[in-house]
Chains A and B, each alone.
Chain A
Amino acid sequence: AQKVTQAQTEISVVEKEDVTLDCVYETRDTTYYLFWYKQPPSGELVFLIRRNSFDEQNEISGRYSWNFQKSTSSFNFTITASQVVDSAVYFCALSDLSGGGADGLTFGKGTHLIIQP
């Protein structure tokens, strides 16, 4: 069975600080995909990144970066120089092949990130 754990329920930092959101996953498959989604106060779910299990290269997109480590089953997300607009709930999610490709994503419980001005 697949599982995603986001141990940080809520994080509060002051604007311009760096912040890392942790994600630990469990799966029996060797082929799987990991995702991060953002849910701002307006409520929509915004796709941020997808990473497959064979690509451990870290990725940077502007102030966002992701650290994928298979050895520790983690896929952490770092925001550099945080801004108030980064305030949102962030979800880590996992998709493996156990459901034949149509079983959607298993989400973590989310981390509520609060950026204070």
Chain B
Amino acid sequence: DTAVSQTPKYLVTQMGNDKSIKCEQNLGHDTMYWYKQDSKKFLKIMFSYNNKELIINETVPNRFSPKSPDKAHLNLHINSLELGDSAVYFCASSQGNRKLFFGSGTQLSVL
């Protein structure tokens, strides 16, 4: 069983389109996250959701909107995609001990 699963693994799209990335965790964790990894491999947190409540939003453009229908899911919706949005997006979850369990990543390419 995959602990944190995200889909799709690859996403290629045109500028201006709207796309979503889905994430699910079966670990029973209370907190889920979205991280962005840029071309230089730098990992930066975008969002954190704790029990379906947004905890932090690290100056991410409002074109990015996390949506959490329940505490096992945290989807990322992106409007009006731009070239600079091309990156690898990682979903993660944690509980208490702060060890993050990461999904396998979604490589987004905006053409």
Contacts and interface: CB of A to CB of B under 8 A. Distances in A.
Interface string B44-86: 1100101000011000000000000000000000000000000
B98 A95 contact: yes
Given A104-B48, A105-B100, A110-B41, A45 B56 contact: no
Nearest to B102: A45
27 contacts: A33-B97, A33-B98, A37-B102, A44-B105, A45-B102, A47-B100, A47-B101, A50-B97, A50-B98, A50-B99, A99-B48, A99-B56, A101-B31, A101-B96, A101-B98, A102-B50, A102-B55, A103-B45, A103-B55, A104-B31, A104-B35, A104-B56, A105-B100, A106-B45, A107-B44, A110-B42, A112-B41
B88 A43 contact: yes
A43 B105 contact: yes
Interface SS of B by simple majority: strand
Contacts of A101: 31, 96, 98
A91 interface: yes
Interface string A27-41: 000000101010100
Interface in A1-51: 33, 35, 37, 39, 43-45, 47, 50
A102 B33 CA distance: 9
A29 to B, nearest CB: 12
A103 B83 CA distance: 28
Interface in A77-96: 89, 91, 95
B2 to A, nearest CB: 11
B88 A103 contact: no
Given A102-B55, A104-B48, A89 B98 contact: no
A100 interface: yes
Contact of B94 (A39, A44, A89, A104): A104
